[in-house]
Amino acid sequence: MIVIDYRDRRPIYEQVVERFQELILKNLLEPDSQLPSVRNLAMDLSINPNTIQRAYSELERQGYIYSVMGKGSFVAENIRLVLNKKEEILNELKQLAKAAEEYGIAKEELINVIMDGVREE
């Protein structure tokens, strides 16, 4: 479910946050379904519970999950999150298009990449 990449320069808790964001946004985790407990996930990943706790706090702050004392942490349902994500992607694209223009890449070339789909990784 969650994989930690120790070659990744970003902190562990951030990787955990990002991974759950992805799972939730793509509906791979249904709303109100329960997340692994702080201690369990920490065991699974062989890391400290505090690190998971930090990731969960962040996810809750961002509205991806909600936590209930004594019960657990659960997936929130929030349509706005998906919309925000889409907007974020389009913004990134805008930045990228700007950079491409500055380096003399034709718009046609960008469109080719998009239309070709993604074959290899």
Tell me which residues touch DNA (CB under 7 A): 11-14, 35, 37-40, 47-51, 53-54, 56-57, 60, 67-73
Should residue 6 be labelled a site residue for a copy of itself when binding is judged by CB under 8 A? no
CA distances from 90 to 25, 42, 80, 81, 85 (A): 16, 34, 15, 14, 9
The 17-46 site mask, x for binding a copy of itself (CB under 8 A), equals --------xx--------------------
Question: Does an H or E element contain 55, and which?
Answer: helix 49-61
Stretch that binds a copy of itself, among 35-43, 50-58, 70-78, 105-113 (CB under 8 A): 105-113
Q: CB 100 → DNA: shortest distance, Å?
A: 28
How far apart (Å, rounded) are the C-alpha atoms in residues 58 and 21? 11
Q: CB 76 → DNA: shortest distance, Å?
A: 13
Q: Which residues, other chains included, contact 8 with Cβ-Cβ below 8 Å and sequence gap of 6+?
A: 15
